[in-house]
Amino acid sequence: MAFMEKPPAGKVLLDDTVPLTAQIEASQSLHSHTEYIIRVQRGVSAENSWQVSNSSSLFKISTLSLPLPPKKLIGNMEREFIAERQKGLQAYLDVITTHHILSNCELVKKFLDPNSYSVNYTACVCIFHECWQLLLTLLFVGWRIRKKYFLMKIKNQPKERLMLSWADLGPDKYLSDKDLQYAVKLLSSCSHPYIYKITFATANESSVLVIRPFSEKGTLKDLIYKAKPKDPFLKKYCNPKKIQGLELQQIKTYGRQILEVLKFLHEKGFPYGHLHSANVMLDGDTCKLLDLENSLLGLPSFYRSYFSQFRKINTLEGVDVHCFGHLLYEMTYGRPPDTIPVDSFPPAPSVFVVSVLESILTCEAMKNGMPTVSRLLQMPRKNLFIPTKLKEALKTSKECTEKRLTEEQKLIHQHRRLTRAQSHHGSEEEKKKRKILARKKSKRSAYESGEEHSAKYSNSNNSGASSIPPAPPPPPLPPAAPPPSTEVPTQPSPQPDVSASRGALLSSIRNFQKGTLKKTQTCDYSAPRIS
């Protein structure tokens, strides 16, 4: 997009730091080469995906040694070779999409998302003012895709070199156009020993243009990697020839200066969130912070893909401290950390440096939250005056940026839990456990049903036995006629209770024991007699 061009209505501002994942779904033969169909996904949402088709010759993006599978002149159309090569290309894609520097490279973005990164940026800002003249277009000198750099000079001062940077608006741009223009112009008046001077700055509805003095010494990252400032970003930092950290005194000096300028910005309520070693300019033995305009533009941070994984890092102050941990690690060991969080640290020139790193980059620090810099340093307070109205606008912009970060972290956390649950339930061990549990359950149910059946059978037998009515008692003998008496007849005694006598009879029947009977001799007279 040209500098003076307005953004189209409804244009979506992409966050270029959101990781892209690529999965080769199929391959097809076209004439004498093979074309691969790749499914690309932005972030964790499966709905935000698309297909791209490219031949394997387009996979060459840098001179870095990567696991690209070998080609074959004869037999390259055989099915076995194509399947084997597809596996190798998938491994190659996995490497470049997880590599922090390569994944943010413009060539990779254009390869995986040609529709979003097909804009051909031109040097339309080369002559926007009569007193400046364009000397050189610095291609790929930075890591941002939508930020371009130009080397310039002032016509009446031919020996002085200037660096012009031109960047589009980002997804976290929440300032109004009026507040944005005011804030950008305010940066030119900022006077602080650890903030790099801005010669000229202006903004419109679509982008911001900033001019600074060009430093031949380069940035702190150039010092660490022994690189030249004008070289492309990938060439300078992706595959360093020698890995060596800075001296202890340099680490202490630069680290303290960076913490002081962060403390100053935090006290003023000025959001930053873009600290990394390439944003720290060297001026002798002094570090000076660059690109304060990035937060005003709403650009995503270089380390966003790291701190968006941890829900405790949800403020720009916490983001600055987390980024300082990355920078301190890079100054100490000459390279960025392999993984975040860091489980163990290599030997360092000072135990104090390791303790600071442990308070920022370990797993415990990620769970508990980032430490602050307010208790570490004392800062001068009145070097930058921000009007109350602009301060409120900056505060609102900061809160909106933090809100989007929190929502993204929540989405990533939910996706991670769902993925773990699906992986756990789909594992072979879990399937075996479920099968064993199902067998035990079926055996238990069969055993319980058998017991229930036997219990019902025994109950039916018992109920059948108890349902036989007891034999009725024999009828009582008729009483003998009483002798005639002249006495007055007395009142007859009450009859015994029938239910009680019947219960006693049943009890005697149940308690009857055959062994208590006496043996008797029976004379049988039923046989017929023959006389």
Tell me: do 279 and 400 sit in the same domain. yes
pLDDT value, residue 99: 86
> Quick one: pLDDT band at residue 319, thresholds 50, 70, 90?
very high
Within-domain flag for 438: no
Q: With contact defined as beta carbons under 8 Å apart, do 257 and 327 qualify?
A: no
Residue 399 has pLDDT above 70, yes or no: yes
Tell me: do 178 and 304 sit in the same domain. yes
Which CATH number goes with the domain that contains 186?
1.10.510.10
Tell me: do 399 and 265 sit in the same domain. yes
Q: With contact defined as beta carbons under 8 Å apart, do 344 and 448 qualify?
A: no
Tell me: do 86 and 162 sit in the same domain. no
Q: With contact defined as beta carbons under 8 Å apart, do 146 and 16 qualify?
A: yes
68-120: pLDDT as tens digits: 666 655 555 677 777 888 888 888 888 888 888 888 888 888 888 888 876 55
Q: Which has more pLDDT, 286 or 516?
A: 286
pLDDT value, residue 37: 85
Q: Which CA distances in Å does 42 have to 51, 113, 170, 373? A: 12, 9, 17, 34
* Residue ending a domain, choose from 385, 401, 424: 424
Question: Which residue bears the tokens 């130009």?
Answer: 150
Within-domain flag for 138: yes
Within-domain flag for 478: no
Work out the angle at residue 220's Cα, subtended by the Cα atoms of residues 336 and 261, and round it to the nearest 5 degrees: 100
Tell me: do 269 and 329 sit in the same domain. yes
pLDDT value, residue 489: 46
Largest CA distance in the chain: 173
Tell me: do 205 and 104 sit in the same domain. no
Q: Which CA distances in Å does 282 have to 145, 161, 217, 301, 405? A: 24, 16, 7, 21, 31
pLDDT value, residue 211: 93
Within-domain flag for 353: yes
Tell me: do 298 and 190 sit in the same domain. yes
Within-domain flag for 224: yes
Tell me: do 158 and 265 sit in the same domain. yes
Residue 496 has pLDDT above 70, yes or no: no
Which CATH number goes with the domain that contains 62?
3.30.1520.10
* Residue ending a domain, choose from 389, 424, 459: 424
* 199 vs 196: CA distance, rounded Å: 10
* 249 vs 253: CA distance, rounded Å: 6
Average pLDDT score over residue span 220-234: 92
Is residue 58 left, alpha or beta, with left meaning phi > 0 and alpha meaning psi from -120 to 50? alpha
402-439: pLDDT as tens digits: 889 998 888 998 888 888 888 877 778 888 888 888 88
* Residue ending a domain, choose from 400, 424, 448: 424
Tell me: do 82 and 194 sit in the same domain. no
> Quick one: pLDDT band at residue 330, thresholds 50, 70, 90?
very high
The token duo for 360 is 């920022």
Q: Which has more pLDDT, 448 or 135?
A: 135
Question: Which residue bears the tokens 């490219």?
Answer: 54
In percent, how much of the chain has pLDDT > 70?
A: 74
Tell me: do 218 and 299 sit in the same domain. yes
pLDDT value, residue 333: 96
Range scoring the smallest mean pLDDT among 3-12, 18-27, 267-276, 413-422: 3-12
Within-domain flag for 234: yes
Q: Which has more pLDDT, 464 or 206?
A: 206
Residue 475 has pLDDT above 80, yes or no: no
**Distance in angstroms between the alpha carbons of the first and the last residue of the chain:** 147
123-152: pLDDT as tens digits: 445 445 566 788 888 888 999 988 989 998
Range scoring the smallest mean pLDDT among 5-9, 36-40, 262-266: 5-9
The total of structural domains in the chain comes to 2
Tell me: do 162 and 32 sit in the same domain. no
Q: Provide the residue range defining the domain that includes 358.
A: 132-424
Q: Which CA distances in Å does 390 have to 176, 186, 272, 385, 387? A: 10, 10, 15, 10, 5
Reference 360, options 317, 399, 401; nearest CA is 317
Tell me: do 99 and 151 sit in the same domain. no
Within-domain flag for 453: no
Within-domain flag for 211: yes
Model-level pTM?
Answer: 0.65
* 141 vs 105: CA distance, rounded Å: 11
279-296: pLDDT as tens digits: 999 998 999 999 999 999
Helix (H, G, I), strand (E, B) or coil at 342: coil
Average pLDDT score over residue span 221-239: 91
246-286: pLDDT as tens digits: 999 999 999 999 999 999 999 899 889 999 999 999 998 99
Average pLDDT score over residue span 44-69: 68
In percent, how much of the chain has pLDDT > 90?
A: 28
